[in-house]
Amino acid sequence: MVETTPIVFRGRLYLFEYVRSNYEQNRTGVSYFRFIDVESGETTPPFARGYHLGSAYVRGDTVFVYGVDRWGGSKIQVFWSKDLKAWSSRPALTLPGWGIYNNSVCKGREGYVMAVELGEPPEVVGVRFTVRFAESEDLINWRLASHERVYSRDRYTACPTLRFLDDYYYMIYLEAKPGPTYETHIVRSRDLVRWESSPFNPVMSPSTDDKKIANPKLTDEQRENIAKAININNSDVDLCEYKGKTLIYYSWGNQRGTEFLSKAVHDGALRDFLHGFFPEA
């Protein structure tokens, strides 16, 4: 369970979780979405059964969640709720023949923008994976942006997290390096066409720090599995500001099914975190 999104809703910190069908505590046989109240540990009722690779976004008194109908599917479904219990739903974006994976939503210069990770077809994505963008006025009805708005067709760029700040779109994403090693990078753009890479990349790269134990309930066997696990990956980053700090959730592991969820903290506001990667900001 490693594709997560931290959100602040009604003043409380929640973690959105994509619960895969093979998660050991999932007894339903299908994937689903849920939220966890981080302070209390309480979980919300499951929803979006059979959907995958979700993300969450808060607008006022409503939470929006976006998920794909299957890994590499062609449809993104939007779910929305005012209480995290009763959910409405409808198709948000359909791209026949295209393979959709992760996504991320932010409020942009005009309306809302979604970063959409694509794996196919080759004539659209170039080098697998690639991020395209969609636009919306209401967070429910979406349209694909022009083909010039892309990052990047010349190499592996996956797992996007999109934010808009001071007239720039900041995107945190995953790059694959020889080895292989999977590192998190950050870029920014005013128009989603021309992109500037941070001189301080990578944002995160695999290290022994990923294996620090945060959960006191882990068994000795689980702790041993963590200590022995191969770690070539820092991916699926998502983040939010809460009580003056930037909370960063991410995945580490071998990129082949043995994966773990970790948290990092920047002791400062999200604005400072993003600006810090671009010295003149």
- Count of helices and strands (H, E) across the chain: 3, 19
56 assigned to some structural domain: yes
Question: What distance in Å separates the CA atoms of residue 36 and residue 56, rounded to the nearest whole number?
Answer: 13
pLDDT tens per residue across span 188-206: 999 999 999 999 999 999 9
**Is residue 280 one of the residues assigned to a domain?**
no
**Residue 281 placed within a domain:** no
Q: How many domains does the chain have?
A: 1
Which residue range forms the structural domain that includes residue 202?
4-275
- pTM of the predicted structure, to 2 decimals: 0.96
CATH of the domain at 210: 2.115.10.20
Query: Strand 112-120 vs strand 130-136: parallel, antiparallel, or unpaired?
Result: antiparallel
pLDDT (tens digit per residue) in 111-152: 999 999 999 999 999 999 999 999 999 999 999 999 999 999
Evaluate whether residue 34 is within a structural domain: yes
Residue 18 in any domain: the answer is yes
- Contact call for residues 58 and 37 (beta carbons, < 8 A): no
Domain assignment present for residue 232? The answer is: yes
Give strand pairing partners of 115: 104, 133
Q: What percent of the chain has pLDDT over 70?
A: 100
Q: What angle do CA 51, 97, 143 make, to 5 degrees?
A: 75
- For residue 209, being part of any structural domain is answered with yes
